[in-house]
Homo-oligomer: A and B are copies of this chain.
Amino acid sequence: MLTGIHVVMIGGDARQIEIVRKLSTLDARVSLVGFEQIEAGFIGVSKEEMDDIDWKTVEAILLPVGGIGNDGFINSVFSSNKIKLEAKHLKQTPESCTIFTGITSNRLEKMASQAKREIVVLMNRDDVAIYNSIPTAEGAVMFVIQHTDSTIHGANVAILGLGRIGMTLATTFKTLGANVSVGDKESASLARAFQLGMKPFHLDDIKQALKQADVVINTIPAKIVTSSVLTEMMQHAFLLDLASKPGGIDHDYAQKRGLKSMIVPGLPGMVAPKTAGKILANVLSDLLLEQTRAQ
């Protein structure tokens, strides 16, 4: 339990609701900033303004998945106010206070280091990435079903990168009956792909490997599906780029050649906002419980 632990949640979207629900269940005391437009109705939770918060008792500050923007403002879909976290707020908190954010930024890093407060970047954590790989893979399945006119069953699906997302993608498509091939450059990943019943290929051989692909899903944040690779692909192939901007596929060339290709960021929030919120809520509350026990 987090009985009495004071947490400030600033801004966010539907996912934050799941976090509030969980913290309330664990008996924390939650101050919400930027949630005017929703009726919270959770025990121990109150809406407040930045300057009215009793920062001396705050053990954790929760920022949205997008963190703090370059302009210093924090986004909230439930508010039309301009909300800003400032060094002066941080300085009032106890030394043990931790800042939890989805992604970080120079601005946030600087502010935290000045105030000597620790930042936990949730989206950098392996466990969060792996939990998020589940809705990501389901989103990819949905896109592939929508954008092809054959079944996944029996299709040649190439997954590029057997990292945290790639592993889940590969097993998911395999399980749906696709002939999955996996491109990576590590011999251990190629061995794992083989063990899982997929066809491994080294990224050096990507051109040859994608010739017969009906579907390509990329998770590698480096330009590996170049025009020279695309030029040899089948005309009906569908390319889905999940890697963060600018992705790993030469989409301009793909379009020119008439291949269907898309970059789709943020699948978890798009196809399963409730699950995406629960993932953050679970990891956050585990971290808070640990932090509390440690003290």
Contact = CB atoms under 8 A, between A and B. Distances in A.
A139 B146 CA distance: 9
Q: Top 8 A-B pairs ranked by shortest CB distance?
A: A126-B188, A130-B191, A127-B191, A127-B187, A175-B175, A149-B274, A142-B145, A151-B275
Contacts of A145: 138-139, 141-142, 271-272
Interface in A186-238: 186-188, 190-192, 194-197
Contacts of A272: 145, 148-151
A248 to B, nearest CB: 23
A147 B110 CA distance: 42
A186 B146 CA distance: 33
A25 B60 CA distance: 53
A134 B195 contact: yes
A177 interface: yes
Contacts of A186: 126
Interface of A: 125-128, 130-131, 133-135, 138-139, 141-142, 145-146, 148-154, 167-168, 171-172, 175-177, 186-188, 190-192, 194-197, 271-275, 278, 286
Nearest to A131: B191
Given A138-B145, A138-B176, A141-B141, A150 B188 contact: no
A169 B122 CA distance: 30
Contact of A126 (B152, B167, B191, B197): B191
B130 A151 contact: no
A153 B195 contact: yes
A272 to B, nearest CB: 5
A25 to B, nearest CB: 18
A192 B196 CA distance: 15
Given A151-B272, A175-B175, 5 more contacts: A126-B187, A149-B274, A154-B275, A171-B196, A187-B286
Contacts of A190: 127
A238 to B, nearest CB: 12
Contacts of A146: 142, 271
User: Which of A127, A149, A151: most chain B CB closer than 10 A?
Assistant: A151
Contacts of A172: 176
A114 to B, nearest CB: 30
16 contacts: A125-B187, A126-B186, A126-B187, A127-B188, A130-B188, A130-B191, A130-B192, A131-B194, A138-B145, A142-B142, A146-B271, A149-B272, A151-B272, A153-B195, A168-B195, A177-B197
